[in-house]
Amino acid sequence: MNDSWKADLRVDPLPALLGGGDEALDYFVRRDLLDEKIASSERLWEMDEASHLADKQQANGSWRYPGSSEHPASNANYDLLETYRTLRILVEMYGFQRAHPTLVKAAEYVFSCQTEAGDIRGILGNQFMPYYHGAMLELLIKAGFSDDLRVIKGLEWLISKRQIDGGWVIPLQLVPARLKTSAFWQAEPFEPDCSKPHAHLATGMCLRAFAVHPAYITRPEVILAAERLKERLFLADKYNDRQAPAYWLKFQFPFWWTNLVTALDSFSKLGFDRQDPAIRRGLNWFIENQSSDGLWPIGYGSGKGVVRTRRWVGLAIFRVIKQYFDREDFID
């Protein structure tokens, strides 16, 4: 086991990660941080939370959104949002793969929301949602669908929808509020002005799909998008959604919005090294802001759920640090 990734840390993270009695977390810590030879993640599939979520899957492969949609679009498909939320947990925390029938049914449901053009659509009515599109593809690729032609079609659609600067926007960010009428949500998708600067919220979420697909990690378009995202670390976004620089330091696990952890994770998978000044600055933030218990504040409230989330976020951060330090050619 190469422990070089721990050399610069103020506190050994392993006691905090392994001390919570979370069997699923323990599995990934031992596999990904300790490099232990460990059995397939299939043993996690029968755990209580995973089984409970699988049992709630609807016949069409989706999960029903609890309550009523909060979106102004009368045709907003919030079951697709709930399916994304659930897939995050099943894939990232319980290691669900294509071999599990629940995953197959869920994938077919997501693909049923894919248009002929290639984009996954529905949460925003009939309007484009490249950020959710990319995040859903990331999960499907991680679950074993990288060779599915519908995934490839979705990735190519994303590449076709970039801004001139190389990143992505959420098209609705360029639409004045007064124009977002009931008819708007059901109309043909709004095509944004591609000369406008990218939104790093969207760019980071789109980039995650490419970063986990082996056929795309060297594509020039993907590397350019990563460069654009890297230039924005710690800066405000260009648009209102999650605009403040503080959002770089608000962490979730499983991943959802773009933040410092998700960005550094993508950069590493795309081959960027820790000698890059922007990446070094990001890694240094984690080294300098590690708490006395070995973990980090996540920027979201308090309580039992936050305690658990801090451990999972800690795993994600340590995975990222290890990715950079374990690569022999990056060691000082």
Residue 329: pLDDT band by 50, 70, 90 thresholds? very low
Q: What is the DSSP letter of 42?
A: G
User: In this structure, are residues 44 and 31 in contact, taking their beta carbons and an 8 Å threshold?
Assistant: no
Residue 23: pLDDT band by 50, 70, 90 thresholds? very high
Amino acid (one-letter) located at 145: F
Cross-strand bridge partners of residue 114: 120
User: In this structure, are residues 263 and 282 in contact, taking their beta carbons and an 8 Å threshold?
Assistant: yes
Which tokens is 38 given? 């460990």
Residue 327: pLDDT band by 50, 70, 90 thresholds? low
Q: At what angle do helices 78-94 and 130-140 cross, to 10 degrees?
A: 40
Residue 71: pLDDT band by 50, 70, 90 thresholds? confident
CA pair distance 75, 290, nearest whole angstrom: 44
Q: Three-class SS string for 138-169?
A: HHHHHHHHCCCHHHHHHHHHHHHCCCCCCCCC
CB count, 10 Å around CB of 220?
8
CA pair distance 32, 64, nearest whole angstrom: 33
Q: What is the pLDDT of residues 73-104, one digit of tens each?
A: 778 999 999 999 999 999 999 999 999 999 99
Q: What is the pLDDT of residues 98-155, one digit of tens each?
A: 999 999 999 999 999 999 999 999 999 999 999 999 999 999 999 999 999 999 999 9
Q: What is the pLDDT of residues 154-180, one digit of tens each?
A: 999 999 999 999 999 999 999 999 999
Check residue 1 and give its pLDDT.
45
Q: What is the pLDDT of residues 185-226, one digit of tens each?
A: 999 999 999 999 999 999 999 999 999 999 999 999 999 999
Burial class of residue 149 (count of CB atoms within 10 Å of its CB; 0-12, 13-18, 19+): exposed
The domain locations on the chain are: 1-39+273-332, 41-237
Residue 323: pLDDT band by 50, 70, 90 thresholds? very high
Task: Give, in words, the CATH class of 41-237.
Answer: mainly alpha
Average pLDDT, the chain: 94
Q: What is the pLDDT of residues 39-55, one digit of tens each?
A: 889 999 999 999 999 99
Residue 181 has pLDDT above 80, yes or no: yes
User: In this structure, are residues 194 and 164 in contact, taking their beta carbons and an 8 Å threshold?
Assistant: yes
What is the chain's percent helix, strand, coil content, to nearest 5? 55, 0, 45
Q: How many CA atoms lie within 13 A of 81 on its CB side?
A: 15
Residue with tokens 């977002």: 180
Average pLDDT over residues 237-259: 97
Contact partners, residue 272, CB within 8 Å, separation at least 6: 226, 230, 279
User: In this structure, are residues 57 and 63 in contact, taking their beta carbons and an 8 Å threshold?
Assistant: yes
Cα 237 to Cα 196, 231, 250, 308: the distances in Å are 13, 11, 14, 29
Residue 216 dihedral angles phi and psi, to the nearest 5°: -115, -10
Put residue 225 in one of left, alpha, beta given phi > 0 → left and psi -120 to 50 → alpha: alpha
Residue 330 has pLDDT above 60, yes or no: no
Check residue 332 and give its pLDDT.
42
CA pair distance 121, 130, nearest whole angstrom: 9
Amino acid (one-letter) located at 113: C
